[in-house]
């Protein structure tokens, strides 16, 4: 949906949007080599540091980006040809990730923890593979997945520190050998979220030292808030995958995407520090079109592109923002991946500050809902 203002509502919206158009920033994350793909997958607490991966002639490379430095490749681990950065500490100094040389085998994949001073911890699994997925706010604890070299060796979620090394998470949701996979860790390092799969069905889980693995969804758990009290991910429903937000009090709350009928699925990929904002993507199953979204409990689910165009005044004609992977601790910076009007596959960072007023966004959402209802009414009328 692209908003075309008209009538009294359009006039009010134009006034409000003009007032907020100065806010927000939409920035492309340049690739390490011209013409290659980039994606921003994690962001520091204040939004100033972005990490992700970029294509190069010799394979995918992990990078760290700031406005001052631009896109800077991380060192390549010995014995691997491809690396990915998956998470970053609150201050942007520590980075988690992994690297390998062949997608056809688990052997030789290594996890790493990198610091901007140039030091790097390499974490290996003897004869198998290991993947670093999340890092605590202080950069001292990692979470990820390890798998042995044997054909029947299950994947095992783990936590890691310099002093303790790799420690498998206990309390699987299914009898062994149920694979477990860790996707993220809370800023305080006390909560890890991920998913399990016994070959037939899976569960999103939330792990603490006290509780072990506790199910929080019937498919995946992908991200958690600063203190681990909010978990987001995807659940399976009669309509396919749908995004959710979980708390101990409310349980699973599906994040609806009004205006999108049957045939659409959604997944939540990131959540702000206080758990109030969620980002992810919505997908049309019939066309495979993906669109990034942002959600909060005041405004509901909004396509990120529409928000930037209609509340911040950007002209994003021809752009397709496909995924929002992460949102900063303060909820003001979103990073992800999309396609430019020229078809370039690029990473992006969006700043949503100063935030549009609640009235502005409520008007925007109200207008969007009216226009979508009007469109459906016209479709019904045309079919008669």
Q: Is the pLDDT score of 22 beyond 50?
A: no
pLDDT tens for each residue of 34-71 = 999 999 999 999 999 999 999 999 999 999 999 999 99
User: Which residue would you say has higher pLDDT here, 5 or 283?
Assistant: 283
Q: Is the pLDDT score of 330 beyond 50?
A: yes
pTM: 0.85
Q: Is the pLDDT score of 382 beyond 60?
A: no
In this prediction, residue 335 carries a pLDDT of 98
Phi/psi for 138 (5° steps) reads -90, 0
User: Which residue would you say has higher pLDDT here, 177 or 135?
Assistant: 135
Residue 133 and residue 49: Cα distance in Å, rounded? 17
Half-sphere exposure of 378 (CA within 13 A, CB side): 6
In this prediction, residue 199 carries a pLDDT of 55
In this prediction, residue 167 carries a pLDDT of 93
Range in 112-116, 261-265, 272-276, 288-292 the model is least confident about: 261-265
Read off the pLDDT of each residue in 106-135 and give the average, rounded to a whole number: 93
User: Which residue would you say has higher pLDDT here, 105 or 335?
Assistant: 335
Both tokens of residue 311?
Answer: 């509340």
Residue 29 and residue 175: Cα distance in Å, rounded? 44
In this prediction, residue 127 carries a pLDDT of 80
In this prediction, residue 172 carries a pLDDT of 62
Q: Is the pLDDT score of 240 beyond 90?
A: no
In this prediction, residue 256 carries a pLDDT of 85
User: Which residue would you say has higher pLDDT here, 216 or 9?
Assistant: 216
In this prediction, residue 11 carries a pLDDT of 31
Range in 237-251, 252-266, 273-287 the model is least confident about: 252-266
Read off the pLDDT of each residue in 237-241 and give the average, rounded to a whole number: 81
In this prediction, residue 313 carries a pLDDT of 87
Q: Is there a contact between 273 and 262 (Cβ–Cβ < 8 Å)?
A: no
Question: Minimal CA–CA distance to 177: which of 195, 207, 157, 197?
Answer: 197
User: Which residue would you say has higher pLDDT here, 332 or 2?
Assistant: 332
Q: Is there a contact between 330 and 273 (Cβ–Cβ < 8 Å)?
A: yes
Mean pLDDT computed over every residue of the chain: 84
Both tokens of residue 295?
Answer: 């959600």
Read off the pLDDT of each residue in 374-384 and give the average, rounded to a whole number: 38
Highest mean pLDDT among 12-21, 124-133, 267-276: 267-276
In this prediction, residue 245 carries a pLDDT of 97
Burial of 161 (0-12, 13-18, 19+ CB in 10 A): middle
Read off the pLDDT of each residue in 323-351 and give the average, rounded to a whole number: 96
User: Which residue would you say has higher pLDDT here, 332 or 256?
Assistant: 332
């Amino acid at each position: 949906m692209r908003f075309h203002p008209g009538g009294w509502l359009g006039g009010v919206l134009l006034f409000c949007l003009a007032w907020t158009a100065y806010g927000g920033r939409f920035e492309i994350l340049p690739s390490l080599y011209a013409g290659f793909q980039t994606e921003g997958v994690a962001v520091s607490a204040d939004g100033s540091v972005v990490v992700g991966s970029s294509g190069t002639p010799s394979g995918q490379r992990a990078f760290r980006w700031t406005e001052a430095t631009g896109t800077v490749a991380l060192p390549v681990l010995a014995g691997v040809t491809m690396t990915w950065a998956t998470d970053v500490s609150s201050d942007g100094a520590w980075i988690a990730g992994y690297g390998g040389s062949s997608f056809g085998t688990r052997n030789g994949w290594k996890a790493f923890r990198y610091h901007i001073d140039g030091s790097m911890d390499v974490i290996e699994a003897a004869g198998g593979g290991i993947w670093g997925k999340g890092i605590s706010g202080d950069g001292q604890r990692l979470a990820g997945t390890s798998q042995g070299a044997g054909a029947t060796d299950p994947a095992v979620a783990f936590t890691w520190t310099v002093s303790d090394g790799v420690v498998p998470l206990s309390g699987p949701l299914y009898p062994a050998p149920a694979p477990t996979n860790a996707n993220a860790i809370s800023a305080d390092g006390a909560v890890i979220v991920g998913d399990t799969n016994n070959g037939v069905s899976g569960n999103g889980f939330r792990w603490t030292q006290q509780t072990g693995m506790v199910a929080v969804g019937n498919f995946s758990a992908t991200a958690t808030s600063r203190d681990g009290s909010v978990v987001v991910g995807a659940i399976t429903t009669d309509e396919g995958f749908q995004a959710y937000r979980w708390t101990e009090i409310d349980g699973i709350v599906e994040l609806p995407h009004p205006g999108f009928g049957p045939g659409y699925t959604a997944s939540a990929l990131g959540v702000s520090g206080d758990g109030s904002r969620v980002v992810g993507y919505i997908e049309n199953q019939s066309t495979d079109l993906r669109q990034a979204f942002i959600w909060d409990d005041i405004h509901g689910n909004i396509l990120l592109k529409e928000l930037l165009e209609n509340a911040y005044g950007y002209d994003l004609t021809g752009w397709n923002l496909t995924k929002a992977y992460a949102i900063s601790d303060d909820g003001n910076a979103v990073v992800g991946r999309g396609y430019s009007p020229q078809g370039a596959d690029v990473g992006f960072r969006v700043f949503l500050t100063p935030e549009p007023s609640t009235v502005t966004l409520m008007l925007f959402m109200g207008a969007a809902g009216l226009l979508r209802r009007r469109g459906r009414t016209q479709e019904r009328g045309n079919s008669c």
